[in-house]
Amino acid sequence: MLDIKFIRENKDVVIAGAKKKHIDVDIEALITLDEKRRELQAAVDDMRAQQNTASTAIASAATPEDRQELIANISTLKDSLKAKEEELQNVMKEWRALMVLVPNVPDMSVPDGESDADNQEVKTWGKIPKFNFEPKSHVDLMLMHDMADFERGTKVAGFRGYFLKNDGARLTWAIWHYAQEFFLKKEFVPMIVPSMIRREPFIGTGYLPQSEEDLYKTQDADYLAGTAEVATMGYYMDEVIDKTQLPMKFLSFSPCFRREAGAHGKDTRGMIRVHEFYKWEQVVLCEANHTESVKWHEWINRNTEEFIESLNIPYHTVVNCGGDLGLGQVKKYDIELWVPGEKTYREIASTSYFHDFQTRRLNTRYRAEDGTMRFAHSLNGTAIPTPRILVSIIENFQQADGSILIPEVLRAYMGKNEITKHS
C-alpha cells in the first residue's frame, strides 16, 4: 500500500504508474474521498476535545443548576459526536477499499507492455541442445521410466493431479537436498512455513483482493498459499524489527496451491502447470532505501541463475513489462528454462522488489538511527519449484535410447549417473 500523503503529493506519478501496469483505479475519487476523511477526522477530534473540556467543567461546576446545564449540553454533543463517528467509519471503509487497489509505482527501467509477450530479454546462458534424434516430451519419458502416473493422479486428485514415483520422487528429493545445501551457503535463515493462512497476510502481500479467484479457500475462510512468500512476510506482521538485524534473509519451504483459474486449456499435460507443488522461496527484508532494494533484487535473482547454471540447464532472464507486474511489484525478473519439447523458454522463477508496499500493509517496521519508525523494504524470489524443474532436466538431458543423464551436482543424491529403463 502506498502512503496516502505520497499519493496526494504525487498524483500524476501514481496515475501514470497504474496506467503502465494496466490497472484500473480511480485516483481522483480516492483523493476526493481522502479530503472528506480528513475533514471528518478533524471534526471528530475537535468534538472529542470539546467533550473532554465539558467533562472537566461538569466536575468543577459551581452550582447544581450549572451542572445540569452542562450535562444537557454534553449530551447533545455526544449525540452529534456519535453521528459524526459513524459517518467517518463509513468513509474509512470506502477509503480502505480504494487504498488497497492502488498499485505500486513501477521503476523507470520497467519496459512498457501489456503482457508477458512484451517482456524483454536481458540475458541468455547455456547451449541449447541439438539432438540427432527426435526428442521426447517429459511426459513420455517419465511414463517410459515409471517416474510418474498422471492417469491415477487425475483419478485421485482431479484435473492436473499427478503422482511422482520411483526416480521421479528420488529426483525431486535430490533437488530439494541440493537446493537446501546450495542456498544456505548464502546465509539464509531456513524456515518451513504454513500454507494455510489467514486473510490478513494475503491482503498485506497484495494477493488479496485482486487474485482471490486463483486461491483455494477453506470452509473457515482461510486460504491456501501459492507461495511461501505470504507466510514468511506475515512472520513480522505488526512488529518492530531491530535495525541491527537487517537485512533479514529467509529461505522458506512449503507446499503450494494454485487454482490456475485463468489457465483454462493451457498446459493441460505434464508438469508445467499443476494445482499442487513445492517451492523454495527467497525472502529479504532490508532498510527503506531504494539502492538497497535494487542491490538485494539483483542478488536474489543471481542466486537462482547460479543454481540453474550449476544444473547446466540453458535459460534466459527477462525483465517484466508494466502489464506483467503485480499490484505491489516495483520491478520483476523472470528466469525461463529451455524446454526442448516446446522449443521455447518456460518460466521457472520470478524475483521482485516492493519497496515498503507490503510492509506498510503488514505494519512491519524498524527504528532508524534518528529514532524515527520506518517501514522495511521487502523482496522475494523463487529459489526453485518442483515438479516444474523436472520438465527441463528430463527433456534437456535425454539420450537417444530414452535414458536420462542426471545433472552432475545431483548424482551424489541420486546414487547414480543416469535414469534407464532398468535402473
From CA 224, how far away is CA 227, in angstroms rounded?
9
Tell me the residue type at 317: T
Confidence of residue 268 (pLDDT cuts 50, 70, 90): low
From CA 359, how far away is CA 1, in angstroms rounded?
8
Per cent of the chain over pLDDT 90 is 84
From CA 373, how far away is CA 366, in angstroms rounded?
6
In three-state secondary structure terms, 286 is: strand
Report the pLDDT averaged over residues 321-342. 96
Give residue-wise pLDDT tens across range 76-99.
888 888 899 999 999 999 999 999
Q: Cα separations (Å) of 265 from 103, 159, 163, 246?
A: 29, 11, 21, 44
In three-state secondary structure terms, 50 is: helix
Compare 145 and 56 and report the one with higher pLDDT. 145
Give residue-wise pLDDT tens across range 211-255.
888 999 999 999 999 999 999 999 999 999 999 999 999 999 999
Confidence of residue 156 (pLDDT cuts 50, 70, 90): very high
Query: Catalytic positions, please?
Result: 258, 273, 347, 350, 388
DSSP 8-state assignment for residue 398: B
pTM: 0.91
Q: Is the pLDDT of residue 107 over 90?
A: yes
Please, what is the average pLDDT of the chain? 94
Compare 25 and 70 and report the one with higher pLDDT. 25
Which domains are delineated in the chain? 4-99 (1.10.287.40), 116-419 (3.30.930.10)
In three-state secondary structure terms, 332 is: strand
